[in-house]
């Protein structure tokens, strides 16, 4: 089945302008939503099985339902457009080519939850996308789609576009909130700082990924049953895979939830470069444990990937053929986390740095036999003991390379060179 | 009030108590670095991980509130291993500075390593170099970034307590560094506290650095005499290393917890105000004017000379300036001797300061005396310092006894002070340090400082708190109460006070505000004037009379 939802119209010229977006049915879902009871909108999203596409795959409607109904405090919507997970580049397309789709999703969400102020936090380097989203917000404002009394419904919403300050950790929801508040992006402790209870400025906050919210207008326009029927039992609809690595046609590729990995590579991404065999696949961004060629039949939804010992994550798929040195990949990933650990928690701050140095030494042919076990031990000692999930997100993939490709690490230690690349 | 089980012991705790505090109640110690009960919770060090039954992961003790029925284990295999692992992480980039680090001996890395660490080193990598090592970041504190474990206690202190926000953590990951913000220095009225709360040798006290190894220090509880707040302190001293710290015995003051007064903190003015104790200006021997010059004499001679002069004065010709720097016990003896026995009418303790003292809305009070309240209650505010000095200047006094005050540097009119000090025939000065006032005296009796005697001060809120002798009185100096006792005997009275507790018991009988108080009741946290014992309080509540008693 080849069905596209959020990326369907990306090729239409000027789809990021309000008039073109409207010509193709834009903001009709909003009208429909505004004619519904807010609770009915949330219910529709719940029944659609739309899950969060930023990393954790948490059901979006359930998350909206966590926001207290009768709070004297303000409520906020925050859109996570930090897109920092290595390999991920889907939100960038959605922001650049379909900003009104996101805005429409945001208004619907805000209407459902009773929010009157929303923020879009966009990765600092996405300068072009930030400009485009800002222009789209202005267009929507001028057209009465934002501001007071939206489309005569009596509902008000303002949107602020915020340029991120440039750190991976500002993609973690509570780090993002700190950053949005003007502070250093130090994640908060959950509990008690669950955004739905104590979020932005201490108020109840919905935080969703760009892609998650971009799906919302389609759920409302076509109904929950339609959306749920597209994906798997628990994960409705489609998701946009950002495929890179040794495939013939890398790029974004929207497919139904649960598409088999093999189909993704061979049918939608043109197969492997030079027809070489698949050696390893990162299925959901660098934080997801690596899969081997044995896992090509894995269903690419959150459930299937969890059952395969990995995770759906951000939908970034990095495909590697047999010319790839796994020690190199692992050391590269470890370096990223050491660089991006915010440095609050002892195990993460020190563990990411230490394991990275050990792996770099193994890679450089400068290691002792016990270093491989020590890297395993250090990675394990970081897990489950920190404030946010960055530490686990670093340890899990590192452990997956160290265990699934142990022989390559041992070879590096013993021969002080690489058996894959030679030299 | 949830009831939970910690290490097999059931305990009921107030709502919102965290596991670290609850564990203390059952005698279990949950080690921690970033948690400090006087600051907000950061939860970053991960040292306080404990096991809670039915929880999927280890939980941090600092941020986990006690809940009904919780079953907590603070030293299972899993917990001990996690602690060991955290310590290993904390130490991999920590410099091997212990032999040259001023924190050694009171460093929580050392303490917890010995208790919970003790592993084989597996670190082969080069340690990370940071920018600031032994760098002054303000007038009071030195920073060593490599020793910092990034617990952020100091940052939170400057944000939440001093509210000056000079400190921050810069950069990410293992390159993170504690530092002052660009262009700022750590310079606030409470800066020294960051040294106390820094669990390691990253922040050290410029005043104390390298003066003495901490294991040579002894401690004694006391009260800061720096202002009428009466912050609780510990005096840290050393008596057998005269070759250290230029022979100073008292080496530093540290805050002592008192929830009613100063919590965990003291101000810098108080912290660094101890130097006069071992200063060169200390008066070491009694002196008496003879043949136109001051001569050192024995106590017997000095007391005899003082008694003769005092006896020779009729009550109206005798002036006494007591001091709110003195203890209640001493002030009481001054009243008893000079007012009650000798009938003096020219008695006062208040001398206006040269300029209004600094004060703020946190700890520091403008009144720089520790015992103004006590002096008021004991009833030493009879006349006014100005009137007494006028009488002296007009030669209406034959003897003037001045305790502690330096009138020359006070808010009193300079020419009046000069005329008074020169006009009075006999000027007896009783104090610990030489000053422009002692210069003019013809009898000088050396007294002990607050660190060298026992007694009580009443702070501005009427809380009576005890001080204790940390070091013996320097030279031949004596506590004022002892001087007064001896002077009374030299005057032919049969006084025989054996110690301050003896005096306090009498004071409590005599001065209504002090009624019911004893040293035992004061304990180490003090008790307020107008104290009503619990049993009596109950009776008064029954009769609806408590408020009336309190009001008196
Ligand atoms: C270290 C770390 C980095 C993250 N980075 C991102 C990110 O760049 N973008 C994103 O949408 N979610 C990111 N997340 C996930 C968010 O914390 C959060 O789960 C998500 O924004 C929720 O939105 P969703 O439910 O729509 O997926 C990250 C999580 C972690 C632990
Ligand atoms: S786990 Fe790492 S990134 Fe997350 S809060 Fe702790 S130190 Fe920061
Ligand atoms: S300097 Fe001390 S108190 Fe401050 S963060 Fe470092 S270790 Fe903690
Ligand atoms: S506030 Fe007053 S009593 Fe407290 S430390 Fe400072 S000077 Fe001493």
Model confidence pLDDT, tens digit, residues A276-286: 999 999 999 99
Check residues B43 and B533 and name the one with the higher pLDDT: B43
Q: How many CA atoms lie within 13 A of A120 on its CB side?
A: 31
Q: Cβ contacts of residue A129 below 8 Å, gap of 6+? A: A81, A92, A95, A96, A122
| Mean pLDDT of the region B379-395 | 92
pLDDT one-digit tens code per residue, A156-169: 999 999 999 889 99
Mean pLDDT of chain B: 96
Tell me what pLDDT residue B415 has. 96
Per the CB < 8 A criterion, the answer to whether B378 and B529 are in contact is: no
| Mean pLDDT of the region A64-79 | 96
Are B318 and B358 contained in the same domain?
yes
Query: Ligand 1: distance of its center to the CA of A24 in Å?
Result: 30
CB contact under 8 A, A349 and B176: yes
Task: State yes or no: pLDDT of B389 exceeds 60.
Answer: yes
What is the pLDDT confidence band of residue B65, given thresholds at 50, 70 and 90?
very high
How much of chain B, in percent, has pLDDT values that exceed 90? 92
Q: Is B293 contained in some domain?
A: yes
Are B475 and B446 contained in the same domain?
yes
Are B160 and B69 contained in the same domain?
no
- Would you call A392 an interface residue with chain B, using a CB distance cutoff of 8 Å? no
Q: Is A105 in the pocket of ligand 1 (CB under 6 A)?
A: no
Tell me what pLDDT residue B550 has. 61
Q: Is B137 contained in some domain?
A: yes
DSSP-based three-state secondary structure for B101: coil
The C-alpha atoms of residue B539 and residue B103 are separated, in whole angstroms, by 52
What is the pLDDT confidence band of residue B547, given thresholds at 50, 70 and 90?
low
Closest CA–CA distance from residue B109 to any residue of chain A (Å): 13
Tell me what pLDDT residue B241 has. 86
Task: State yes or no: pLDDT of A1 exceeds 90.
Answer: no
The C-alpha atoms of residue B239 and residue A227 are separated, in whole angstroms, by 82
Query: Among B34, B42, B46, which would you mutate to test the A interface (most chain A Cβ atoms within 10 Å of its Cβ)?
Result: B46
What is the pLDDT confidence band of residue B381, given thresholds at 50, 70 and 90?
confident
Count up the domains in chain B and report the number: 3
Residue nearest to atom 22 of ligand 1 (CA): A208
Q: Is A51 in the pocket of ligand 1 (CB under 6 A)?
A: no
| CATH code at position B87 | 3.10.20.740
Are B335 and B458 contained in the same domain?
yes
Residue B284: closest CA among B273, B297, B300, B274? B297
Pick the CATH number of A326-415 from 3.40.50.300, 1.20.1440.230, 2.40.50.100, 2.60.260.20: 1.20.1440.230
Tell me what pLDDT residue A422 has. 63
| Mean pLDDT of the region B511-516 | 97
| All structural domains of chain A with their residue ranges | 18-230, 238-321, 326-415
pLDDT one-digit tens code per residue, B491-504: 999 999 999 999 99
Per the CB < 8 A criterion, the answer to whether A85 and A172 are in contact is: no
Q: What one-character-per-residue DSSP string does B471-515 give?
A: SPPSTT-B-HHHHHHHHHHHTT------SHHHHHHHHHHHSGGGT
| Mean pLDDT of the region A150-154 | 97
Q: Is B512 contained in some domain?
A: no
Tell me what pLDDT residue A318 has. 98
Which residues in chain A are contacts of B44 at CB distance < 8 A?
344-346, 387
Tell me what pLDDT residue B245 has. 86
Are B87 and B131 contained in the same domain?
no
Query: Ligand 3: distance of its center to the CA of B109 in Å?
Result: 12
Tell me what pLDDT residue B548 has. 63
| Mean pLDDT of the region A306-332 | 98
Residues of B with CB under 8 A from a CB of A: 41-47, 49, 57-58, 60, 63, 82, 85-86, 88-90, 92-93, 122-125, 128, 149-150, 152, 168-169, 171-176
User: What is the assigned CATH class of domain A18-230?
Assistant: alpha beta
Task: State yes or no: pLDDT of B546 exceeds 70.
Answer: no
CA of B370, nearest ligand number: 4
CA of B229, nearest ligand number: 4
- Would you call A381 an interface residue with chain B, using a CB distance cutoff of 8 Å? yes
Tell me what pLDDT residue B425 has. 93
ipTM: 0.94
| Mean pLDDT of the region A327-354 | 98
Q: Pick from B58, B91, B124: which residue ends a domain?
A: B91
CB contact under 8 A, B150 and A184: no
Task: State yes or no: pLDDT of B200 exceeds 90.
Answer: yes
pLDDT one-digit tens code per residue, B430-460: 999 999 999 999 999 999 999 999 999 999 9
Q: Cβ contacts of residue B92 below 8 Å, gap of 6+? A: A350, A354, B123, B125, B127
CA dihedral B36, B41, B42, B44 (to 10 degrees): 70
Q: Checking DSSP bridges between strand B71-73 and strand B49-52, what pairing results, if any?
A: antiparallel
Q: Is B225 contained in some domain?
A: no
**Residue of B101, B140, B153 to test ligand 3 pocket, by largest number of atoms within 8 Å of CB:** B153
Query: Among B43, B61, B67, B85, which would you mutate to test the A interface (most chain A Cβ atoms within 10 Å of its Cβ)?
Result: B85
Query: Ligand 3: distance of its center to the CA of B189 in Å?
Result: 19
Q: Checking DSSP bridges between strand A316-321 and strand A278-282, what pairing results, if any?
A: antiparallel
Per the CB < 8 A criterion, the answer to whether A157 and A107 are in contact is: yes
The C-alpha atoms of residue A28 and residue A33 are separated, in whole angstroms, by 9
Q: What one-character-per-residue DSSP string does A294-307 give?
A: GGTT-B-SHHHHHH
Tell me what pLDDT residue B10 has. 97
Tell me what pLDDT residue A52 has. 98
Tell me what pLDDT residue B552 has. 52
Which residues in chain B are contacts of A347 at CB distance < 8 A?
46, 85-86, 89
| Mean pLDDT of the region B122-150 | 96
Are B55 and B134 contained in the same domain?
no
Q: Is B246 contained in some domain?
A: no
Can you give the length of chain A in residues? 423
Q: How many CA atoms lie within 13 A of B102 on its CB side?
A: 19
What does DSSP assign to residue A247? B
Domain limits for position B308? 287-504
The C-alpha atoms of residue B540 and residue A144 are separated, in whole angstroms, by 71
Query: Ligand 3: distance of its center to the CA of A255 in Å?
Result: 50
Q: Pick from B205, B232, B253: which residue ends a domain?
A: B205
Nearest residue, CB atoms, B44 vs list A344, A370, A374: A344
- Cβ of B415: how many Cβ atoms within 10 Å? 9
The C-alpha atoms of residue B395 and residue A115 are separated, in whole angstroms, by 84
Per the CB < 8 A criterion, the answer to whether A239 and A53 are in contact is: yes
Q: Is A59 in the pocket of ligand 1 (CB under 6 A)?
A: no
Chain B's closest residue to A345, CA to CA, is B44
| Mean pLDDT of the region B341-354 | 95
CB contact under 8 A, B150 and A387: no
What does DSSP assign to residue B96? S
Whether the bond between B446 and the residue before it is cis, its omega within 30 degrees of 0, is no
Are B377 and B457 contained in the same domain?
yes
Nearest residue, CB atoms, B172 vs list A189, A343, A358: A343
CB contact under 8 A, B174 and A339: no
Rg (CA), chain A: 22
Query: Ligand 4: distance of its center to the CA of B271 in Å?
Result: 8
Mean pLDDT of chain A: 97
Task: State yes or no: pLDDT of B76 exceeds 90.
Answer: yes
**B15, exposed or middle or buried, with CB in 10 Å at 0-12, 13-18, 19+?**
exposed
Check residues A422 and A226 and name the one with the higher pLDDT: A226
What is the pLDDT confidence band of residue A134, given thresholds at 50, 70 and 90?
very high
CA dihedral B341, B344, B348, B354 (to 10 degrees): -130
Q: Is A348 in the pocket of ligand 2 (CB under 6 A)?
A: yes
**Domain A238-321 annotated CATH 3.10.20.600:** yes
Are B86 and B116 contained in the same domain?
no
* A-B Cβ pairs (cutoff 8 Å, strict): 93
Task: State yes or no: pLDDT of B281 exceeds 80.
Answer: yes
CB contact under 8 A, B90 and A350: yes
Nearest residue, CB atoms, B173 vs list A184, A341, A387: A341
Closest CA–CA distance from residue A74 to any residue of chain B (Å): 24
Nearest residue, CB atoms, B93 vs list A169, A338, A350: A350
Q: What is the 3-state secondary structure (H, E, C) of A332-373?
A: HHHHHHHHHCCCCCHHHHHHHHHHHHHHHHHHCCCCCCHHHH
What is the pLDDT confidence band of residue B537, given thresholds at 50, 70 and 90?
confident
Q: Where are the alpha helices (DSSP H) in A73-204?
A: 90-97, 99-113, 127-142, 173-180
What does DSSP assign to residue A402? H
The reported pTM is 0.95
Query: Ligand 3: distance of its center to the CA of B178 in Å?
Result: 7
Are B293 and B417 contained in the same domain?
yes
Are B308 and B397 contained in the same domain?
yes
Residue B219: closest CA among B198, B233, B204, B240? B233
Are B363 and B295 contained in the same domain?
yes
Shortest-distance atom of ligand 1 to CA A82: 8
The C-alpha atoms of residue A399 and residue B383 are separated, in whole angstroms, by 83
- Would you call A395 an interface residue with chain B, using a CB distance cutoff of 8 Å? no
Torsional class of B263: left (φ above 0), alpha (ψ -120 to 50), beta (otherwise): left
Q: Cβ contacts of residue B497 below 8 Å, gap of 6+? A: B333, B481, B482, B485, B503
Closest CA–CA distance from residue A344 to any residue of chain B (Å): 5
Give A14-23's long-range contacts (Cβ < 8 A, gap of 24+): A15/A97, A15/A98, A16/A96, A16/A97, A16/A98, A16/A99, A16/A100, A16/A132, A16/A136, A17/A136, A17/A139, A18/A100, A18/A136, A18/A139, A18/A140, A18/A143, A21/A98, A21/A100, A21/A101
Q: Is B525 contained in some domain?
A: no
Q: Is A10 in the pocket of ligand 1 (CB under 6 A)?
A: no
Q: Pick from B33, B61, B91: which residue ends a domain?
A: B91
Query: Among A347, A378, A392, which would you mutate to test the B interface (most chain B Cβ atoms within 10 Å of its Cβ)?
Result: A347
Task: State yes or no: pLDDT of B251 exceeds 90.
Answer: yes
Closest CA–CA distance from residue B122 to any residue of chain A (Å): 8
| Mean pLDDT of the region B180-194 | 98
Tell me what pLDDT residue B382 has. 74
Per the CB < 8 A criterion, the answer to whether A311 and A291 are in contact is: no
The C-alpha atoms of residue A364 and residue B498 are separated, in whole angstroms, by 79
Q: Where are the alpha helices (DSSP H) in B15-92?
A: 19-25, 77-92
Q: Is B252 contained in some domain?
A: no
CB contact under 8 A, B150 and A343: yes
Are B187 and B303 contained in the same domain?
no
Shortest-distance atom of ligand 1 to CA A390: 1
Closest CA–CA distance from residue B474 to any residue of chain A (Å): 49
| CATH code at position B139 | 3.30.70.20
Q: Is B149 in the pocket of ligand 3 (CB under 6 A)?
A: yes
Tell me what pLDDT residue A316 has. 98
Q: Is B210 contained in some domain?
A: no
| Mean pLDDT of the region A99-119 | 98
Query: Ligand 4: distance of its center to the CA of B71 in Å?
Result: 43
């Amino acid at each position: 089945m080849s069905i596209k939802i959020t990326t369907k119209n990306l090729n239409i010229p000027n789809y990021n302008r309000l008039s073109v977006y409207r010509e193709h049915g834009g903001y009709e879902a909003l009208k429909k939503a505004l004619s519904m009871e807010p609770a009915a909108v949330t219910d529709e999203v719940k029944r659609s099985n739309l899950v969060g596409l930023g990393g954790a795959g948490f059901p979006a409607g359930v998350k909206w339902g966590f926001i207290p109904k009768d709070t004297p405090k303000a409520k906020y919507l925050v859109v996570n457009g930090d897109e920092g997970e290595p390999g991920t580049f889907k939100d960038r397309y959605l922001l650049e080519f379909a900003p009104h789709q996101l805005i429409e999703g945001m208004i619907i969400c805000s209407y459902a939850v009773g929010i009157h102020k929303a923020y879009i936090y966009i990765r600092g380097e996405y300068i072009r996308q930030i400009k485009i989203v800002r222009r789209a917000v202005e267009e929507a404002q001028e057209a009465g789609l934002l501001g007071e009394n939206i489309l005569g419904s009596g509902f008000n919403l303002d949107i602020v576009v915020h340029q991120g300050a440039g750190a991976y950790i500002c993609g973690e929801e509570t780090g993002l909130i700190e950053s949005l508040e003007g502070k250093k992006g130090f994640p908060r402790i959950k509990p008690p700082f669950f955004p739905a209870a104590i979020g932005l400025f201490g108020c109840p906050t919905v935080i969703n990924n760009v892609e998650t919210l971009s799906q919302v207008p389609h759920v409302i326009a076509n109904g929950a049953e339609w959306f749920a029927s597209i994906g798997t039992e628990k994960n409705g609809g489609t998701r946009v895979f950002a495929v890179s690595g040794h495939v013939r046609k890398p790029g974004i590729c929207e497919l139904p939830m649960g598409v088999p990995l093999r189909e993704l590579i061979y049918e939608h991404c043109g197969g492997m470069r030079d027809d070489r065999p698949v050696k390893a696949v990162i299925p959901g961004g660098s934080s997801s444990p690596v899969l081997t060629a044995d896992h090509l039949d894995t269903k690419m939804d959150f459930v299937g990937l969890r059952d395969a010992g990995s995770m759906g994550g951000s939908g970034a798929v990095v495909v590697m053929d047999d010319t790839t040195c796994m020690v190199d990949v692992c050391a590269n990933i470890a370096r990223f986390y050491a660089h991006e650990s915010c440095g609050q928690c002892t195990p993460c701050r020190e563990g990411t740095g230490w394991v990275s140095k050990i792996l770099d030494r193994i890679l450089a042919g400068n290691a002792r036999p016990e270093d491989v076990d020590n890297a395993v031990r250090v990675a394990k000692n970081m897990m489950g003991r920190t404030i946010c999930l960055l530490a686990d997100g670093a340890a899990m993939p590192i452990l997956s390379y160290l265990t699934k490709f142990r022989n390559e690490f041992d070879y590096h230690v013993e021969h002080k060179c690489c058996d894959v690349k030679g030299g | 009030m949830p009831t939970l089980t910690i290490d097999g012991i059931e305990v009921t705790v107030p709502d919102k108590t965290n596991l670290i505090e609850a564990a203390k109640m059952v005698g279990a110690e949950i080690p921690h670095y970033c948690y400090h009960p006087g600051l907000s919770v950061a939860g970053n060090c991960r040292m306080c991980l404990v096991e809670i039954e039915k929880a999927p992961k280890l939980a941090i003790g600092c941020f986990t509130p006690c809940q009904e029925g919780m079953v907590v284990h603070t030293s299972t295999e899993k917990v001990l291993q996690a602690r060991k692992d955290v310590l290993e992480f904390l130490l991999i980039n920590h410099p091997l500075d212990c032999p040259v680090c001023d924190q050694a001996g009171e460093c929580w890395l050392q303490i917890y390593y010995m208790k919970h660490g003790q592993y084989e080193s597996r670190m082969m990598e080069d340690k990370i170099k940071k920018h600031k090592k032994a760098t002054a970041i303000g007038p009071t504190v030195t920073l060593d970034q490599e020793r910092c474990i990034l617990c952020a206690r100091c940052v939170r202190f400057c944000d939440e307590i001093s509210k000056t926000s000079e400190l921050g953590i810069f950069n990410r990951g293992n390159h993170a560094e504690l530092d002052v913000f660009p262009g700022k220095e750590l310079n606030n009225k409470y800066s020294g506290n960051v040294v106390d709360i820094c669990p390691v040798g990253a922040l050290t006290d410029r005043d104390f650095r390298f003066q003495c190894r901490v294991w040579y220090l002894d401690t004694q509880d006391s009260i800061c005499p720096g202002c009428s707040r009466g912050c609780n302190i510990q005096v840290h001293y050393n008596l057998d290393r005269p070759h250290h710290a230029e022979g100073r015995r008292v080496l530093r003051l540290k805050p002592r917890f008192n929830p009613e007064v100063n919590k965990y903190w003291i101000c810098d003015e108080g912290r660094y105000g101890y130097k006069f104790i071992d200063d060169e200006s200390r008066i070491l021997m009694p002196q008496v004017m003879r043949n136109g010059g001051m001569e050192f004499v024995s106590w017997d001679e000095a007391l005899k000379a003082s008694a003769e002069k005092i006896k020779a004065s009729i009550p109206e010709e005798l002036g006494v300036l007591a001091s709110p720097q003195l203890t209640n016990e001493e002030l009481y003896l001054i009243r008893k001797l000079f007012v009650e026995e000798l009938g003096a009418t020219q008695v006062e303790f208040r001398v206006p300061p040269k300029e209004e003292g600094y004060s703020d809305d946190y700890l520091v009070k403008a009144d720089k005396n520790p015992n103004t309240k006590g002096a008021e209650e004991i009833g030493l505010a009879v006349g006014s310092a100005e009137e007494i000095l006028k009488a002296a200047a007009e030669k209406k006094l034959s003897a003037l006894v001045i305790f502690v005050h330096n009138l020359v540097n006070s808010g009193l009119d300079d020419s009046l002070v000069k005329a008074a000090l020169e006009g009075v025939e006999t000027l007896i000065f009783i104090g610990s340090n030489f000053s422009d006032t002692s210069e003019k005296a013809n009898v000088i009796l050396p007294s002990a400082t607050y660190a060298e005697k026992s007694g009580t001060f009443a702070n501005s809120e009427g809380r009576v708190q005890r001080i204790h002798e940390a070091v013996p009185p320097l030279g031949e100096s004596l506590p004022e109460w002892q001087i007064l006792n001896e002077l009374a005997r030299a005057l032919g009275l049969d006084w025989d006070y054996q110690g301050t507790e003896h005096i306090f018991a009498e004071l409590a009988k005599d001065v209504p505000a002090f009624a019911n108080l004893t040293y035992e009741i004061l304990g180490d946290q003090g008790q307020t004037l107008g104290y009503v014992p619990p049993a009596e309080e109950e009776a008064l509540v029954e009769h609806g009379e408590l408020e009336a008693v309190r009001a008196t």
